[in-house]
Amino acid sequence: MVAFAKKLAAERPEEVALRDPERTLSWADLDDALNRTANRLLAADLGSHHRIAVFAENAVETAIAHMGGLIGGASSVPVNFHLTAEEVAYILQDSDTRILFVGPETAERGIAAAREAGVETVIGWRCETFEGVESWTGWLDDSSGDDPPMDHAPRPNLLYTSGTTGRPKGTNLPPTMFAAGDTVGEHLESVAKGLFATFGTHGVIGPLYHTGPLSGSRTLVAGVPVVILGRFDAETTLRAIQDYGIASSVLVPTHFVRMLALPEETRTKFDLSSLKWIAHTGAACPVDVKRAMIEWWGPVLSEAYGASEVGTTCSITSPEWLEHPGSVGRAVPPFEALIVDEEGNELPPNTEGRLYFKDATGRGVVYHNDAEKSAAAHLRPGVFTLGEIGYVDEAGYVFITDRFSDMILSGGVNIYPAEAENVLINHPGIADVACIGVPNEEMGEELKALVIPENPTAPPDELEIIAWIRERISTFKCPRSVEIVDDLGRNSMGKINKRKLRAPYWESN
């Protein structure tokens, strides 16, 4: 493998390096698996974009596929394991993926997606019963365990975020989230010097299709043991922190809400003294939730506000947050926060308006194969928005108050209402529909469908509508509730003021 981890593989070959709920790998095992993955991919025809995709739930193999891909000069595409075969097929085609990795939970959908997208090679672990999947262990056995070359260029992940027109858009992991280095060797040395690598055992608690957990798993190259958990369970997470001495992780506010909801006797029975640094991101954290977590875990929380498209734009530590409760922090280089009105004029401190960031590198937001969407995110070159409203105080601390884009964040996951709307409008009992974000105590917010029925005297049933759409798109993109309404307030141009539609639901929250 490389540097520190290679040294541990030689000095302490039997020590556990990587584990999930089902298996463990020693440093020697990990070194061999990564070498074989990288060498096999270096020898494969991955096309001009060098693209592989990983469509699998959290497992040691998921992490190895991504890390081995990085070492092997591939650009890996993390695919949300909740997606349907049709949704996955689009991502495979758009990214020009040549090899797809799947786990047992995603194999059936992955095979169908690969066939539709023309991807000939599907590699799977624990997928012996599925036709059309090459065995992960057999695939590795056919490769060399020798150290791969490290002089080729590293290629960043291509991440897909839901699209406003019903199609997700890809964005390369930005330089602020992808460590430096002109060669893979230099890049991995840079990763080994990152913040996550300084604390001790790292816990991968969120899904590996998110940037935070994926980036955290790379601390392996610094010789840091990594513990990968499966689908989130609050008590299981606390037990893992205690049992494995987890020191760092990346969480989202929904995780906090679920852990705080545990009975006090459950929360207090675990020793969490190993925790040193917890990054949290994905959505605004309610003030009372964050305060309760700091009181419970101590000042180990560090909030990162930003997006996959650009990385972290603001950050704030626990001590800072206690002095500025509710803030997402101050802008971090190379970004500068600014608030503008609807005409783009900059506003003074403590004045609410549209939140933009100036990128000193001039890069801003770049979407794969979508220059129009890239341009729409910018006020001018290098000055971009993540679609939110807020203000900046005199000390430069940013506060988010609303969102002017339609996107909602539910449990740290981006959901674009247009995806559900484009499906629901085809329901035979629906004349018009608008989907909005409404409060949800656990998830932060959830999607609600406001429906004008074709026949007001016999409107479709709420549960029937929800069941109908769940048959057509991934469940997490579907509204959790439906309300029959008489009017959506469309103007003469057919546009809807969603901020106005949302307001009654949030006023009492």
Residues in contact with 493: Cβ distance below 8 Å, sequence separation at least 6, in sequence order: none
Q: What is the CATH number of the domain that holds 445?
A: 3.30.300.30
In this prediction, residue 466 carries a pLDDT of 96
Domain end residue (candidates: 126, 153, 180)? 180
- Domain presence at residue 217: no
Strand 248-251 relative to strand 277-280, pairing: parallel
Q: What is the CATH number of the domain that holds 338?
A: 2.30.38.10
Residue 426 and residue 473 share a domain: yes
Rg of the chain's alpha carbons, rounded to an integer? Answer: 23
Residue 378 and residue 500 share a domain: no
In this prediction, residue 165 carries a pLDDT of 42
- Of 202, 163, 157, 193, nearest to 177 by C-alpha is 157
DSSP 8-state class, residue 222: G
- Domain presence at residue 85: yes
In the chain, how many domains are there?
Answer: 3
For 140, 218, 224, 245, 280, the CA distances from 201, given in Å and listed in that order, are: 27, 12, 6, 7, 17
Residue 165 and residue 24 share a domain: yes
Interaxial angle between packed helices 417-424 and 462-470, expressed in degrees from 0 to 180 and rounded to the nearest 10: 110
Residue 421 and residue 369 share a domain: no
- Domain presence at residue 266: no
Residue 431 and residue 381 share a domain: no
- Domain presence at residue 426: yes
Amino acid type, 375: A
Residue 154 and residue 39 share a domain: yes
Q: Do residues 445 and 408 lie in contact, with contact meaning Cβ atoms separated by under 8 Å?
A: yes
Residue 173 and residue 118 share a domain: yes
Q: What is the CATH number of the domain that holds 71?
A: 3.40.50.980
CA–CA gap between residue 446 and residue 480 (Å, rounded): 7
Could you list the pLDDT tens digit for every one of the 509 residues in the chain?
Answer: 555 566 777 788 788 999 999 999 999 999 999 999 999 999 999 999 999 999 999 999 999 999 999 999 999 999 999 999 999 999 999 999 999 999 999 999 999 999 999 999 999 999 999 999 999 999 999 999 999 999 999 999 999 975 434 577 899 988 888 878 899 999 998 888 888 888 999 999 999 999 999 999 999 988 899 999 999 999 999 999 999 999 999 998 889 988 999 999 999 999 999 999 999 997 778 888 899 999 999 999 999 999 888 999 999 999 999 999 999 999 999 999 999 998 999 999 999 899 999 999 999 999 888 888 889 899 999 999 998 889 999 999 999 987 777 778 888 887 878 788 888 988 999 988 999 999 998 888 999 999 999 899 999 999 999 999 999 989 999 999 999 999 898 765 466 888 889 889 988 66
Residues in the chain: 509
Q: Do residues 280 and 464 lie in contact, with contact meaning Cβ atoms separated by under 8 Å?
A: no
- Domain presence at residue 296: no
Domain end residue (candidates: 133, 160, 180)? 180
- Strands (E) in 106-256, as ranges, are 121-124, 134-135, 158-161, 169-172, 202-204, 226-228, 248-251
Give kind and range of the element (H or E) at residue 19. strand 16-19
- Domain presence at residue 283: no
Q: How many Cα atoms occupy the beta-carbon half-sphere of 104 within 13 Å? A: 6
Residue 159 and residue 55 share a domain: yes
Identify the domain containing residue 30 by its residue range: 10-180
3-class secondary structure, 238: helix
In this prediction, residue 412 carries a pLDDT of 81
Q: How many Cα atoms occupy the beta-carbon half-sphere of 272 within 13 Å? A: 26
Residue 367 and residue 416 share a domain: no
Domain end residue (candidates: 150, 180, 210)? 180
Backbone phi, then psi, for 67, in 5-degree steps?
-65, -45
In this prediction, residue 494 carries a pLDDT of 61
- Strands (E) in 111-192, as ranges, are 121-124, 134-135, 158-161, 169-172
Q: The whole model's pTM is what?
A: 0.85
In this prediction, residue 422 carries a pLDDT of 80
Residue 435 and residue 388 share a domain: no
Cis peptide preceding 334, ω within 30 of 0: yes
- Domain presence at residue 441: yes
Residue 174 and residue 45 share a domain: yes
Residue 414 and residue 401 share a domain: no
Q: Do residues 408 and 444 lie in contact, with contact meaning Cβ atoms separated by under 8 Å?
A: no
- Domain presence at residue 154: yes
Beta bridge partners of 388: 403
